[in-house]
Structure 1
Amino acid sequence: MADRADRGALDALREAVRVSPDNLPLRRHLAEQLLDAGLLLDAENEFREALALAPGEAELATSLAEVFLRQGKHGAALAALARVGPGEGPAKAGLIVAKALVAEGDVAAARPRYWEAVARDAALADAEFEVRLGHSPVSEPALAHALADVAPPVDGPSEAVDEPKAGVTFADVAGMEQVKQSLRMKLLLPVQQPEMFAAYGKRAGGGVLLYGPPGCGKTHLARAAAGELGAAFMSVGLSDILDMYIGSSERNLHATFEAARRNRPCVLFFDEVDALAARRADMNRAHNRQIVNQFLAEMDGVESDANEGVLILAATNAPWYVDSAFRRPGRFDQLVFVPPPDMAARAAILALLCREVPLDELDFRAVSEATDGFAGADLKGVVDRAVEAKLQEAIRAGRPLPLSTADLMGAVRSARPTAVAEWMGTARNYVMHANESGVWDDLLPWLGGKRR
């Protein structure tokens, strides 16, 4: 923070700017001094005013982005530099973009921006940040050679082993405390406290099946679990496994598990798993049944400790179509219902979505009350719509304008929830007519019923 002498100099600069508000060099100097003094909010305001005097100036945009980055407003930092492409503007712009992208979880996009910035200005090299990028600070070729050792076979699936999403943990998942606790006990704590679990004969590994309506955060939860643990993360889609040639899908599935085993601890995430693990009784082709058999064999492991340290997560909107054999102990023996957000969770989600947007005093509770039945994806659509409308106003005004409760409520009035109600209708049929074993009891409170 600034000492007394510094504050006196800053006050003098402020007075000079007040007297001459259109003096761009003077306002730029004040903004830079505020930034150096760590007065980030004041610096942000001055850089915004300077940009209003010189719209599109790359150096000012870079300085404003740096202020945002230091405040943790990573999305705002990226927005400030949206018009500064690779090789344009100050080299430092590329470094700021890279750091913001890593904080947002997009490590792959961050790498080329960082190395381009360092190539332009070697003084920007940051060995600690290079570790977060997953790169040796020695050289890019050396890293490429090292990564080749953990890559899947050429004829295997195309998915890559990703670093854990930087900055994405359970703190970034609003609500769902019971779901998070279930994942901690099943997936995280056995890795974090192996001695305690070993005393009870439990090892790290196993699987959890996340199910619930579309758009309620199942994939986000999986990434947050990997980030919470600091584990590698592999996201597997249908296109990574399924192949038209007989036997190829099974080989792809085996290669996927082998890649996860080489990179343990690893969170191996299967999205839309019902398509890979469907009930064999419903299949009319032996080839499809063989894929399910291969999946079951990989989850069991040829050796007793084959999957130790491989944490298998899967997500589905249709758990009732998953073969019951997957629910045996050691496989997906824990089903975790990821519910649509309740009112408190909706308010928390809205606050998270708006944390990097200029805000007025917002009543998130009022907005959450007006969005009953909205999934997390629906709420993101509401915020995106409100931000787009406010951005148009800001462009006309020539300066950033804060988002208000009225802006969000206006977006809510033009939005409709997508699939929660329809999904709950389908779930009600299974709870009412196919729940003899009690497997769907977690749904009862959401459908107006009671637990047994």
Structure 2
Amino acid sequence: MDDRIIASLETAVGATPDDAVLRVHLAELLLAAGRREEAVRHAATALAADPTSGPARAVLADALDEGAPAPQAPAEDAAGTGEGFDWSRAEQEVGDLAPPMYADGAQDPQGRAFDVEHGDVRLSDVGGLEKVKERLEASFLAPLRNPELRRLYGKSLRGGLLLYGPPGCGKTFLAKAVAGELGAAFLHVALADVLDMYVGSSERNVAELFRVARESGPCVLFLDELDALGQKRSLTRNSGMRTTVNQLLTELDGIGRDNEGVYVLAATNHPWDVDPALRRPGRLDRTLLVLPPDRPAREAILRTHLRGRPIEGIDLPALAKRTDGLSGADLAHLCESAAEVALMDSVRSGTPRMIGMPDFAAALEEVRPSIEPWLETARNVALFANNDGQYDELARYLRKRGRR
């Protein structure tokens, strides 16, 4: 009789699966019939539908209690008191199965606080920018690749290279490509990685940074946002920032240490805010202007950001021509905006479609060059702060764009 009632209730529950009361009643009968696993399943389903159901909780507790092993007397702990659990013994028993919950840094023998990358980006992966590549090759890469010629011509490897230009134009990507060309490790450091609120900690971070670079050599050490990390000390009221710049100068000079195999690159949007001492010979004494991408570079960037998207009829040369003055970041945003136009149109119509030139036309009406504020600042510098000629290349570029 019980089996027939259970079968009828199972049919009823199947017809009305949301009836929690009926499901709990079925679970009670299943538990009474010794079918514990089925009772647990139905009681749990009822409890999920109605978390406040007392009968469901009772059935679940009874079912689980029946399936639990008989309680045993607690084992004595390490002290033999019989009170509590011996966590030390348990940790030893599972030590090979589970990693420790906390670490004290002993697992890293070098105690490194900075992550060193090993990428495979090359200059050939950088679209366009042929003049920039030539300058990189002549001022930095060729002497490193040809030690015999370097010795013949007495070319020194001291000093580093400062990349400057408007934001979003690929300075970091170029630095990674240089590391790839050299087959070197890449250590990318920004302001937040170095500065610390406690006195003396920022200086220790700078020293640790160069220590890691030396131990990882050959290594390209890339100092991003140098205008923030190496700001002019005459403009800095914070004594902590001044001492941080002093420490950076000491490490660049390699005082008491050997910087052999450490190639220092730095990037900034505002080289005029960098402390002049950082740009003296033997430090960051070579500069390279990284401008917004030219037409071949824009075409390559657009092709990269359209890879994997559903496109049709995209005229890349025409798009590259229409996007003069956009940075690499602007071009990425343009592709995102065009994809968004097509996506929203597909949502409205209910039919997915490809991304086409009309979507880019709509996106171009919204996307504006992000480098305009930088160009205005650069114009003032080129006009009124270029007495020593260090911004002649920038001045030529601004004249070409009609900004005199």
Q: Is the 8 A contact 2:299 2:317 kept in 1?
A: yes
AA at the equivalent of 1:163:
H
Task: Name the SS for the 2:167 alignment partner.
Answer: coil
Q: Is the 8 A contact 2:233 2:275 kept in 1?
A: yes
Task: Name 1:340's counterpart in structure 2.
Answer: 292
Task: Name 1:210's counterpart in structure 2.
Answer: 163
Task: Name 2:260's counterpart in structure 1.
Answer: 308
Pairwise CA distance, 1:401: 4.8
Cα distance in 2 for residues equivalent to 1:386 and 1:269 = 33
Pairwise CA distance, 1:181: 2.0
Task: Name 2:115's counterpart in structure 1.
Answer: 160
Task: Name 2:337's counterpart in structure 1.
Answer: 385
Pairwise CA distance, 1:201: 2.9
| Cα 1:147–1:183 shift into 2, 3 Å | farther
Q: Is the 8 A contact 2:129 2:294 kept in 1?
A: no
| Cα 1:196–1:355 shift into 2, 3 Å | farther
| Cα 1:300–1:221 shift into 2, 3 Å | same
Q: Is the 8 A contact 2:159 2:286 kept in 1?
A: no
Task: Name the SS for the 1:378 alignment partner.
Answer: helix
Pairwise CA distance, 1:234: 0.7
Task: Name 2:236's counterpart in structure 1.
Answer: 283
What are the ranges of 5 or more consecutive residues in structure 2 without an aligned counterpart? 1-98, 100-104
| Cα 1:192–1:357 shift into 2, 3 Å | farther
AA at the equivalent of 1:160:
D
What are the ranges of 5 or more consecutive residues in structure 1 without an aligned counterpart? 1-140, 153-157
Cα distance in 2 for residues equivalent to 1:236 and 1:427 = 25
| Cα 1:445–1:308 shift into 2, 3 Å | same
Cα distance in 1 for residues equivalent to 2:140 and 2:107 = 26
AA at the equivalent of 1:370:
R
Pairwise CA distance, 1:328: 1.2
Q: Is the 8 A contact 1:210 1:315 kept in 2?
A: yes
Task: Name 1:63's counterpart in structure 2.
Answer: none
Q: Is the 8 A contact 2:167 2:269 kept in 1?
A: yes
List per-residue Cα deviations over 1:222-249 (Å, max 9, x = no partner).
1222223221111111121111122111
The structure having more radius of gyration, on CA atoms, is 2
Task: Name 2:389's counterpart in structure 1.
Answer: 438
Query: Which moved further from structure 2: 364-373 or 255-264?
Result: 364-373
Task: Name 1:148's counterpart in structure 2.
Answer: 108
AA at the equivalent of 1:162:
E
- 1:232 maps to 2:185: yes
- 1:179 maps to 2:132: yes
Q: Is the 8 A contact 2:311 2:354 kept in 1?
A: yes
Cα distance in 1 for residues equivalent to 2:296 and 2:156 = 35
Cα distance in 2 for residues equivalent to 1:233 and 1:220 = 11
Q: Is the 8 A contact 1:206 1:332 kept in 2?
A: yes
Select the structure that is richer in helix: 1
Q: Is the 8 A contact 1:209 1:336 kept in 2?
A: yes
Q: Is the 8 A contact 1:194 1:203 kept in 2?
A: no
Cα distance in 1 for residues equivalent to 2:361 and 2:111 = 48
| Cα 1:196–1:408 shift into 2, 3 Å | same
| Cα 1:147–1:177 shift into 2, 3 Å | farther
Cα distance in 2 for residues equivalent to 1:324 and 1:222 = 22
Pairwise CA distance, 1:373: 2.4
Cα distance in 2 for residues equivalent to 1:205 and 1:174 = 29
AA at the equivalent of 1:245:
Y
Pairwise CA distance, 1:323: 1.0
| Cα 1:203–1:361 shift into 2, 3 Å | farther
Q: Is the 8 A contact 2:179 2:219 kept in 1?
A: yes
Task: Name 2:31's counterpart in structure 1.
Answer: none
Cα distance in 1 for residues equivalent to 2:331 and 2:248 = 35
Q: Is the 8 A contact 1:337 1:443 kept in 2?
A: yes
Task: Name 2:359's counterpart in structure 1.
Answer: 407
Pairwise CA distance, 1:208: 0.9
Pairwise CA distance, 1:274: 0.8
CA root-mean-square deviation: 2.8
Pairwise CA distance, 1:385: 1.7
AA at the equivalent of 1:301:
G
**TM-score normalized by the length of structure 1:** 0.61
| Cα 1:427–1:172 shift into 2, 3 Å | same
Task: Name the SS for the 1:148 alignment partner.
Answer: coil
Pairwise CA distance, 1:150: 4.4
Task: Name 1:67's counterpart in structure 2.
Answer: none
AA at the equivalent of 1:285:
N
Q: Is the 8 A contact 1:206 1:307 kept in 2?
A: no
Q: Is the 8 A contact 1:278 1:323 kept in 2?
A: yes
Query: Which moved further from structure 2: 266-275 or 388-397?
Result: 388-397
Pairwise CA distance, 1:146: 12
- 1:424 maps to 2:375: yes
Task: Name 2:196's counterpart in structure 1.
Answer: 243
List per-residue Cα deviations over 1:326-353 (Å, max 9, x = no partner).
1111111111111112334322321232
| Cα 1:161–1:403 shift into 2, 3 Å | same
AA at the equivalent of 1:270:
L
Q: Is the 8 A contact 2:128 2:295 kept in 1?
A: no
Q: Is the 8 A contact 1:394 1:401 kept in 2?
A: yes
Task: Name the SS for the 1:443 alignment partner.
Answer: helix
AA at the equivalent of 2:325:
G
Task: Name 1:38's counterpart in structure 2.
Answer: none
Instruction: Give the length in aligned residue pairs.
Output: 299
Task: Name 2:312's counterpart in structure 1.
Answer: 360
Pairwise CA distance, 1:258: 0.8
AA at the equivalent of 1:235:
H
Q: Is the 8 A contact 1:174 1:352 kept in 2?
A: no
Superposition misfits of 4+ residues, deviation over 6 angstroms: 394-400
